[in-house]
């Protein structure tokens, strides 16, 4: 029997690689919109939580493809910035921010003079699995750490270069295999994996 198909509600190359690395042997054929031959309209991430945003994106992808769909929403929460950027991480700083580098630089500027003990932060991710008809499952992953004084490492994407793990390395200094095991998204996806395997067997 062929594997059931699972639509990803993202074309982000970094996320696609992580998802396929963690879930690729869970018994599903994981497809990007491009591989399936569709273009997903952008979904406004106006929800008040990662969960709302992830579900909205997965619902839209399931409706467009007719397949079960997987989406995530994630962000960095900096305690000295009252939990910002949080759910606005991808849009932090507004339209003047051109890319991840600009958003990282903005956080570092806003933390100038803040000592390392007070630079506590966490990465949080929620993944949502939605079936046509809007049967919804969610899982969450959280990783605690600190904001670095300057970017470190050349791997990863987003806020990885400025997020320090307890061992002093930034997430951008992890190998892809390490990141898959211990990142916030990796933890959430690993928590979802048994459910996908169970649903595959039904």
Q: Cβ atoms within 10 A of the Cβ of 149, count?
A: 15
Q: Cβ atoms within 10 A of the Cβ of 53, count?
A: 24
Active site residues: 73
Sequence-distant (6+) residues with CB within 8 A of 60 are 9, 40, 41, 43, 69
What is the C-alpha separation between 125 and 50, in angstroms, rounded? 7
CA-based end-to-end distance of the chain: 12
159 within 8 A of 122, measured Cβ to Cβ? no
Which is it for the CA torsion 184, 113, 93, 50, positive or negative? Answer: positive
């Amino acid at each position: 029997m062929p594997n059931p198909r699972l639509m990803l509600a993202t074309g982000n190359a970094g996320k696609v690689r992580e998802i396929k690395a963690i879930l690729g042997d869970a018994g599903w054929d994981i497809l990007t919109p491009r591989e399936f031959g569709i273009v997903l309209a952008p979904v406004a991430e106006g929800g008040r939580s990662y969960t709302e945003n992830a579900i909205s994106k997965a619902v839209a992808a399931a409706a467009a493809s007719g397949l079960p769909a997987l989406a995530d929403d994630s962000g960095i929460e900096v305690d000295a910035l009252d939990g910002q950027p949080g759910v606005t991480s991808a849009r932090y700083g507004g339209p003047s921010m051109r890319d991840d580098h600009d958003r990282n630089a903005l956080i570092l500027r806003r933390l100038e003079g803040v000592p390392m003990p007070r630079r506590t932060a966490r990465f949080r991710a929620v993944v949502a699995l939605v079936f046509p008809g809007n049967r919804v499952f969610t899982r969450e992953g959280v990783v605690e750490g600190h904001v670095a004084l300057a970017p470190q490492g050349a791997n990863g994407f987003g806020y990885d270069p400025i997020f320090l793990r307890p061992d002093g390395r930034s997430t951008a200094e992890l190998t892809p295999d390490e990141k898959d095991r211990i990142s916030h998204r990796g933890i959430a996806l690993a928590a979802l994996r048994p459910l996908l395997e169970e649903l595959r067997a039904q």
